[in-house]
Amino acid sequence: MQTSVLDLIQLYRIDQNKPVFKAGLGFFLFFYRYLGNLDTFSINAILKLEVLMERKVLLVVDVQNDFCPDGALAVKGGDKVVPVLNRYIELFKRAGLPVIATRDWHPAKTVHFKAYGGTWPPHCVQGTKGSEFHPDLKLPPDTIVMSKGTSPDEDSYSGFDGRDDKGRALLQVLKEKGIGHIYIGGLATDYCVLQTALDAAKNGIGITVLTDAVKGVDLNIGDSERAMKRMKAAGALETTIARIEGELKGGGYGSSEDKKRRA
């Protein structure tokens, strides 16, 4: 049974752009998964295949100066995500997959800020230095930028509340591009990353959290950890750049290199 699953993966690699093949495979996998008597390895292989079948996007959340050290709402070690995200950006570019970046984009007066009844010191005010993306973040020129938190009388954290420069909402952009799975990283784990991931799950979009490329505010101790648990409970998978680069370099899932990595 294991070999047949692995054969399928090889087949899929060859044929991955054919929609009919994809539909057929999806149908087959459904029955295989629910009717078959599967061991953990096979189930993992199938889950992996299901992820493989979706078109993916890299979603870079709020990597802005104000969330980095010296910023108005600095996340401890926030800038540490930048070099890791740059490697993910490279991978996605090479795979011909899109990159979307969200930005917190507040008016000067908003109920989001303490002075107007909210939680936070002023940050990411539209057009200020603090609202700019971190200068070392290497976003591709065709990155789709979604601005959120633009309303003066609403507290919003999710990227799904944002709009791009053409006025499109995130869900609309994902639909237009046929994307079914997001790889999400950035700031902050316990606010915008969390809310964006939960909204993705609500909308039936798969999620992989880039655990080496997120950082949290932790206003209360343990917030980031709880956020990770909530995302996982909503169905999110996790990965790291080392794991992806390892899989790309050392043969695919189930290869001898892969088995060594898992052992």
Helices (H), 54-202: 81-94, 170-176, 194-202
Q: Cβ closer to ligand VGL: 56 or 148?
A: 148
Residue 191 binding target from ligand VGL, Zn ion, none, CB below 5 to 8 Å by type: ligand VGL
Q: How far is the CB of 59 from ligand VGL (least distance, A)?
A: 13
* Residue ranges that bind ligand VGL, judged by CB under 6 A: 62, 104, 120, 157, 187-188, 191-192
Residue 66 binding target from ligand VGL, Zn ion, none, CB below 5 to 8 Å by type: none
Q: Cβ closer to ligand VGL: 42 or 156?
A: 156
In angstroms, rounded to a whole number, what is the distance separating the alpha carbons of residues 2 and 45? 9
Count CA atoms within 13 Å of residue 247 on its CB side. 12
Structure tokens that stand for 93 in this block = 């570019």
The alpha carbon of residue 103 and the mean position of all alpha carbons in its chain are separated, in whole angstroms, by 14
In angstroms, rounded to a whole number, what is the distance separating the alpha carbons of residues 73 and 17? 44
Concatenating the DSSP letter of every residue in 99-128 gives EEEEEE-B-SS-TTBGGGTSSB-S-SBTTS
Q: Cβ closer to ligand VGL: 104 or 161?
A: 104
Count CA atoms within 13 Å of residue 49 on its CB side. 29
Catalytic residue (choose from 68, 79, 104, 192): 192
- Which residues sit opposite 193 in a β-bridge? none
> Among 62, 79, 104, 199, which residue sits at the site for Zn ion (rule: CB under 5 A)?
104
Residues in the chain: 263
Candidates 102-110, 169-177, 207-215, 224-232 — which segment interacts with Zn ion by CB under 5 A?
A: 102-110
Catalytic residue (choose from 66, 68, 148, 161): 148
Q: Cβ closer to ligand VGL: 56 or 123?
A: 123
Q: Cβ closer to Zn ion: 127 or 204?
A: 127
Q: How far is the CB of 110 from ligand VGL (least distance, A)?
A: 10
In angstroms, rounded to a whole number, what is the distance separating the alpha carbons of residues 248 and 242? 10
Q: How far is the CB of 192 from Zn ion (least distance, A)?
A: 8
First to last CA, the chain: 20
In angstroms, rounded to a whole number, what is the distance separating the alpha carbons of residues 34 and 182? 25
Is 142 marked active-site? no
Q: How far is the CB of 61 from ligand VGL (least distance, A)?
A: 7
Is 62 marked active-site? yes
Told to check if 161 binds Zn ion by CB under 5 A, we report no
Candidates 48-56, 79-87, 142-150, 248-256 — which segment interacts with Zn ion by CB under 5 A?
A: 142-150
Which residues belong to the active site? Answer: 62, 148, 192
**Chain residues that interact with Zn ion, rule: CB under 5 A:** 104, 149
